[in-house]
Structure 1
Amino acid sequence: MKRLLIFSFGIFLITIYSCKSTKLSENQNTEEKVFWINSTKLPCQGVGPMTCLQIQESPEIEDGKWNNFYSNIEGFEYKPGNIYRIKVRVEQLPPPIPADASSLRYTLIEVISEKPDLTLSITGIWKVESLGEIQNPKGMGKALTIELNAAERGVLGFSGCNTIRGFISKLTETEIEFGNLLSTMMACSQTEMILERGVTQALEKVKKYKIENNRLYLNTSDGTRLMILRKAD
Structure 2
Amino acid sequence: MRGLITIGLSILLLAMMSCNSTKLTENNSGEEKVYWVNSSKVPCEGVAPMSCLQVQESETIEEGKWKFFYSNIEGFDYVPGNIYRIKVKVQKIQGTIPADASSLHYQLVEVMEKYTDLTLRLTNIWLVKEAGDLLNPKGAKGDLTFEINAGERKFYGYSGCNTFRGTIASITDKEIKFGPLASTRMACGEEEMKLETKIMQDLEKVSQYHLEGNYLSLMDSDKNVLIKLLNVD
Relative to the length of structure 2, the TM-score reads 0.87
The C-alpha deviation readout for 1:73-109, integer Å capped at 9, x for no partner, is 0000000100001000000111221222110000000
Determine the structure 2 residue equivalent to 1:186.
Answer: 186
Question: How many matched pairs?
Answer: 209
Q: Which runs of 4+ in 1 moved over 2 A?
A: 23-27
Cα distance in 2, alignment partners of residues 182 and 99 from structure 1: 39
The C-alpha deviation readout for 1:39-63, integer Å capped at 9, x for no partner, is 1001111111110000010000001
Determine the structure 1 residue equivalent to 2:160.
Answer: 160
TM-aligned CA deviation for residue 182 of structure 1: 1.4
Q: Taking every aligned residue pair, what percent have the same amino acid on both sides?
A: 55
Structure 1 position 146 matched with structure 2 position 159: no
Q: Secondary structure at the match of 2:204?
A: helix
Residues 90-101 of structure 1: pairs in structure 2 closer than 5 A:
90-101=90-101
What RMSD in Å do the two structures reach over aligned CA positions? Answer: 1.4
Structure 1 residue ranges without an equivalent (≥5): 1-22
Cα distance in 2, alignment partners of residues 151 and 24 from structure 1: 40
Q: Secondary structure at the match of 2:170?
A: strand
- Residue 192 of structure 2 aligns with an amino acid whose one-letter code is E
Max Rg structure: 1
TM-aligned CA deviation for residue 185 of structure 1: 1.0
TM-aligned CA deviation for residue 25 of structure 1: 5.2
TM-aligned CA deviation for residue 24 of structure 1: 11
Cα distance in 2, alignment partners of residues 41 and 218 from structure 1: 26
Determine the structure 2 residue equivalent to 1:208.
Answer: 208
Cα distance in 2, alignment partners of residues 140 and 64 from structure 1: 35
Relative to the length of structure 1, the TM-score reads 0.87
Q: Secondary structure at the match of 1:98?
A: coil
Determine the structure 2 residue equivalent to 1:26.
Answer: 28
TM-aligned CA deviation for residue 179 of structure 1: 1.0
